[in-house]
Structures are given as structure tokens and as C-alpha cells.
């Protein structure tokens, strides 16, 4: 079933679990994600990153085939534009058929972020699509630099933003970063940020940078009101490792066999995160 994030996140909010959003960039990665959700009877979000769509494969070649995949399974599937920063591009994606978009104007001062996001919220209504936004600075792992104090979401700013824009969900910066942490590293989370915003707004909240965040951090995040968890690095790392293993075992492997192995490896990771998020068997 092809849907927006709105209803699936509202249900997750009522029942206190999170829906997984997995970064995909082609049809094979989308198939792995949707198949894993169908086998787990879980709602799922296919996240398509703006940078990937601009540099790897255009949304015009991806959207309709992924929608067809979604319509052929008995679980809720949304396509969400991840970190859309170009207003015109965000609108193009909605016109192309995306059921959800993230308007990430978090690099701007708060009031400009509000104005840009509010415009997209109003525009998305014509498509019955949901809108995610961000307050704070969700950085990326760079060397030994992760989240710094200046990157954390200010709860009062977030509460004001939610009330001013009418967004369907909000991404928070409270300890995680995009990318792949060093082996054994676990980020320290500021759970008080999540708790304060949730108690004031009861809005579905979003954790970006779920890869490597650690089981306990994710479980506590969900318990406090995180209803969408983004994962990219762990999903893609599993597929990369599957390629290495297959080529080491059989260097002459056929390319189609290699790709099939990556799909299976990706599915396994998605299923693990579905279990951790509490969304298994939560499809309508």
C-alpha cells in the first residue's frame, strides 16, 4: 500500500513505536527495504536523499517503479525525500508522486526555517503528502568529530517551530550524527531534549543517524517518543560487505548474483532495525 508518512507516524505515536526510514538510491535497495517490511508485516519509509537523486539516479526514473512495488505489498510504504534543501526540487518531487518530503531549512535562522517550511506544508496539502522538517544541526561523522554542543536542538525553538508550521514530524539533533561511527563507539544522547519537546507537543519526532546509535539509545529514544528512525550507513555497509564476501569466495561471480546477494544482506539489516524499533507486525 502506498501512503504518506502522516497516518503511519500518527499510529506509531499512539502506540509508542517507531517506523524505520531506510536510505535507498536505486530500485535494488528499495526492493530490499520493501521486501523486508512485507516479510516483517511492518510499515516502512523509503528515504531518497536529495543529494543521491541529483548525483546518482534522477527521481523521475525511481518514483513510479517504487510506487508500483509499494502497491504490490500488503504493508504501508511511503516514499520520503530526505534532506530536501532546494525548494523547487522538493516541489518537483511532490509533483512526481512522493508521498512525503523533508524540507530541511535548518541551516537558516529559525524564522526563515519556519517561513520556508510553512510554504512547503501548505504546498504539500494539494498532494495529500506529509512534511518533515528539522530544527538543530544534524551533522555527519568526520574524523573524531561528532555532535557538538552547538548542534543540539533547542527545545523551546522546536516547540515554537512545530506550532508555527504545522509539520507532521520533526527531526531533532540530540546526540547522533549521519554516517558511520568508529568500531565500538556509541554516541551520548541528550534524552531530555526529546522528552521536553514530546511532552509539549505530542508530535511524532524523528531520529536521524540511527546507524551505530546503539540498541539502548534506540530503545530509550522510542520509549520517550521517537516515531521515525533513519538508517543509511548500516544498510549500505551490509550490502558492501556482502559484495566483498561473495567476491572473496568466488571472484568470477556473475554480476546479477552479486546484486541479489546485496538485496538479501540489506533485508537482514532492515529486519533487525524493524524489530528494534517495535514496528514488527504493526502494519494495518
In Å, what is the CA distance from 148 to each residue of 32, 104, 135, 151, 190? 34, 19, 15, 5, 11
As a three-state string, the secondary structure of the chain is CECCHHHHHHHHHHHCCCEEEEEECCHHHHHHHHHHHHHHCCCEEEEEEHHHHHHCCCHHHHHHHHHHHHHCCCCCEEEEEEEECCHHHHHHHHHHCCCEEEECCCCCCHHHHHHHHHHHHHHHHHHCCEEEEEECCCCECECCECCCHHHCCCHHHHHHHHHHHCCCEEEECCCCCECCCCCCCCCCCCHHHHHHHHHHHCCCEEECCCCCCCHHHHHHHHHHCEEEEEECHHHHHHHHHHHHHHHHHCCCCCHHHHHHHHHHHHHHHHHHHHHHHCCCCCCC
Taking the C-alpha atoms of residue 186 and residue 175, their distance in angstroms, rounded to an integer, is 10
Taking the C-alpha atoms of residue 196 and residue 207, their distance in angstroms, rounded to an integer, is 15
Cell of 181: 561511527
Catalytically annotated residues: 82
Cell of 254: 556473475
Amino acid at each position: 500500500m502506498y501512503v504518506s508518512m502522516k497516518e503511519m507516524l500518527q499510529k506509531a505515536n499512539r502506540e509508542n513505536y517507531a517506523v524505520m526510514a531506510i536510505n535507498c538510491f536505486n530500485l535494488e535497495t528499495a526492493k530490499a527495504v520493501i521486501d523486508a517490511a512485507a516479510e516483517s508485516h511492518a510499515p516502512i519509509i523509503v528515504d531518497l536523499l536529495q543529494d543521491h537523486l541529483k548525483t546518482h539516479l534522477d527521481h523521475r526514473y525511481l518514483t513510479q517503479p517504487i510506487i508500483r512495488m509499494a502497491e504490490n505489498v500488503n504493508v504501508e510504504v511511503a516514499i520520503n525525500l530526505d534532506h530536501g534543501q532546494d525548494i523547487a526540487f522538493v516541489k518537483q518531487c511532490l509533483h512526481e508522486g512522493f508521498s512525503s518530503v523533508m524540507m530541511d531549512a535548518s541551516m537558516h535562522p529559525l524564522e526563515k526555517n519556519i517561513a520556508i517550511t510553512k510554504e512547503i506544508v501548505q504546498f504539500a496539502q494539494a498532494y495529500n503528502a506529509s512534511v518533515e522538517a528539522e530544527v538543530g544541526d544534524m551533522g555527519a561523522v568526520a574524523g573524531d568529530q561528532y555532535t557538538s554542543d552547538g548542534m543540539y536542538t533547542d527545545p523551546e525553538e522546536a516547540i515554537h517551530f512545530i506550532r508555527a508550521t504545522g509539520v507532521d514530524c520533526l527531526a531533532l539533533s540530540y546526540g547522533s550524527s549521519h554516517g558511520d561511527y568508529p568500531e565500538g563507539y556509541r554516541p551520548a544522547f541528550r534524552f531530555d531534549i526529546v522528552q521536553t519537546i514530546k511532552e509539549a507537543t505530542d508530535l511524532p519526532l524523528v531520529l536521524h543517524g540511527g546507524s551505530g546509535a546503539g540498541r539502548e539509545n534506540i530503545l530509550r529514544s522510542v520509549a520517550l517518543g521517537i516515531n521515525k528512525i533513519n538508517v543509511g550507513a548500516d544498510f549500505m555497509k551490509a550490502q558492501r560487505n556482502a559484495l566483498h564476501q561473495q567476491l572473496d569466495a568466488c571472484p568470477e561471480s556473475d554480476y546479477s548474483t552479486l546484486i541479489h546477494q546485496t538485496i538479501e544482506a540489506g533485508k537482514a539489516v532492515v529486519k533487525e532495525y524493524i524489530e528494534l524499533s517495535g514496528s514488527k507486525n504493526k502494519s494495518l
